[in-house]
């Protein structure tokens, strides 16, 4: 972020806080927005940041404190891989496959004192050797413990000489609100320890990059090399793992202010499962879903969107619970759902063999059905 951008951001934040403070003071003193009968409304002069020169500095200090807490937990992940490159024999013209050594770099975050590190799967994809560099410059060889391709996450392990590593505490990403501040930390373009600031632009994003997506969208600048690094809140807690960006085109690598992070709740659940069992077994109930057309949704649900069961796998938990194609899912665990992603997010929050209560509409009749989650391999 350039100096001019930082000044503009600080000015906007300061102005917003001053406005909120002024509104609060007016409420406390009984000032009304409506003038009293017979009295003219007094127009307050605009609030200026020049009247409160220390406010921007205090905001900057709060953000700097959060970054200072988080930086010791952020690491650089360097990889070495061997890829085949086609080449033509200059003498006989044969097309050969020539091995080529490739170096890569991304970011990661320490999540346990024992040295477990969370990063993105694409950062360590096909890597023969992995090296982790801590914020103080100490380098460690790293072992790949496991990965979850569908969420693009991987867990690494480094071994210290008796010392404990500094983990980054996670926040509850479900409680993060759109509009809150977000800070991205990582190693974009090999610039380790880089920090950018923005806000939470939206939650629950699906952009078609992965089989399962529930991204947090942020305008904090994320660039190549940031992948695997943390997205933190103003308290220095993990709210997401930076994973992807939107660019201007296939040849562009620059950030447009649209970045995506895997929510910390999902990322930590997957990481703990990989640490404990070596893999993440995603809970499923054995159904394929379809999105209701607006006309059908209005007919059956009196709203413009809805989800129906398109297919039930044989021997699946859904079949055992006697769910049927055509059933319309109204709620999951008493929470209304309108889209396929909302149903998926609700189911994946459960552990294996846990009950999921689906409220369905079947031929105009509403009923609750309890389904126990399974692994999927048992019936797919």
Question: Shortest CA distance to 18 belongs to which of 40, 51, 43, 57?
Answer: 51
Q: How many CA atoms lie within 13 A of 266 on its CB side?
A: 25
* Partner residues linked to 130 by β-bridges: 79
Q: Taking CA 15 as the corner, what is the angle to CA 44 and CA 263, rounded to the nearest 5 degrees?
A: 140
Active-site position among 73, 122, 194, 243:
122
Active-site position among 73, 107, 148, 152:
152
* Partner residues linked to 96 by β-bridges: 87
DSSP per-residue string spanning 287-328: EEEEEPPHHHHHHHHSSS--EEEEEE-TTSHHHHTT--TTPE
Question: Shortest CA distance to 117 belongs to which of 61, 168, 184, 177?
Answer: 168
Query: Residue 153 in 3-state DSSP?
Result: strand
Query: What count of residues does the chain have?
Result: 380
- CA 62 from centroid of its chain's CA atoms: 23
Give yes or no for a contact between 325 and 312, defined as CB atoms under 8 angstroms apart: yes
264 is an active site residue: no
Active-site position among 187, 227, 264, 316:
227
DSSP H stretches of helix in the chain:
3-28, 55-70, 264-277, 294-301, 317-320, 340-348
Q: Taking CA 241 as the corner, what is the angle to CA 236 and CA 247, rounded to the nearest 5 degrees?
A: 115
Q: What share of the chain is helix, strand, coil (3-state, %, to 5)?
A: 25, 35, 40
d(CA 263, CA 214): 7
Give yes or no for a contact between 260 and 244, defined as CB atoms under 8 angstroms apart: yes
CB atoms closer than 10 angstroms to residue 312 = 22
33 is an active site residue: no
Question: Shortest CA distance to 291 belongs to which of 328, 318, 321?
Answer: 328
333 is an active site residue: no
CB atoms closer than 10 angstroms to residue 151 = 25
Question: Shortest CA distance to 62 belongs to which of 264, 233, 240, 177?
Answer: 233
Catalytic sites, residue numbers: 122, 152, 227
């Amino acid at each position: 972020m350039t100096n001019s951008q930082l000044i503009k951001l600080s000015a906007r934040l300061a102005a917003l806080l001053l406005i909120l403070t002024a509104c609060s003071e007016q409420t406390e003193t009984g000032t009304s927005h409506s003038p009293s009968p017979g009295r003219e409304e007094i127009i307050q002069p605009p609030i200026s940041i020049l009247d409160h020169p220390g406010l921007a500095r205090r905001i900057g200090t709060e953000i700097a404190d959060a970054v200072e807490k988080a930086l010791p937990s952020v690491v650089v992940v360097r990889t070495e891989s061997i890829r085949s490159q086609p080449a033509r024999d200059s003498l006989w013209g044969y097309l050969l496959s020539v091995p080529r050594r490739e170096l890569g770099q991304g970011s990661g975050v320490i999540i346990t004192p024992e040295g477990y590190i969370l990063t993105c799967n694409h950062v360590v994809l096909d890597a023969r050797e992995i090296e982790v560099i801590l914020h103080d410059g100490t380098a460690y060889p790293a072992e790949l413990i496991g990965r979850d391709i569908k969420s693009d996450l991987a867990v690494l392990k480094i071994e210290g000489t008796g010392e404990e590593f500094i983990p980054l505490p996670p926040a509850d990403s479900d409680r993060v609100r759109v509009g809150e501040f977000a800070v991205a930390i990582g190693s974009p373009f090999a610039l380790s320890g880089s920090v950018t600031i923005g806000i939470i632009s939206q939650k629950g994003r699906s952009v078609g990059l992965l089989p399962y997506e529930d991204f947090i969208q942020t305008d904090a600048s994320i660039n190549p090399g940031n992948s695997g690094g943390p997205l933190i809140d103003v308290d220095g807690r993990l709210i997401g793992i930076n994973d992807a960006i939107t660019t201007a085109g296939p040849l562009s690598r620059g950030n447009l202010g649209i970045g995506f992070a895997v929510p910390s709740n999902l990322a930590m659940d997957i990481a703990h499962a990989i640490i404990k069992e070596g893999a993440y077994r995603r809970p499923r109930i054995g159904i394929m879903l379809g999105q209701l057309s607006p006309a059908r949704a209005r007919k059956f649900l009196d709203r413009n969107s809805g989800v129906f069961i398109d297919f039930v796998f044989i021997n699946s938990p859904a079949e055992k619970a006697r769910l049927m194609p055509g059933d319309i899912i109204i709620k999951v665990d008493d929470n209304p759902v309108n889209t396929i992603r909302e149903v998926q997010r609700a189911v994946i929050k459960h552990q294996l063999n846990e009950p999921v209560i689906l409220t369905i509409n079947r031929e105009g009749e509403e009923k609750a059905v309890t389904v126990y989650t399974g692994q999927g391999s048992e019936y797919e």
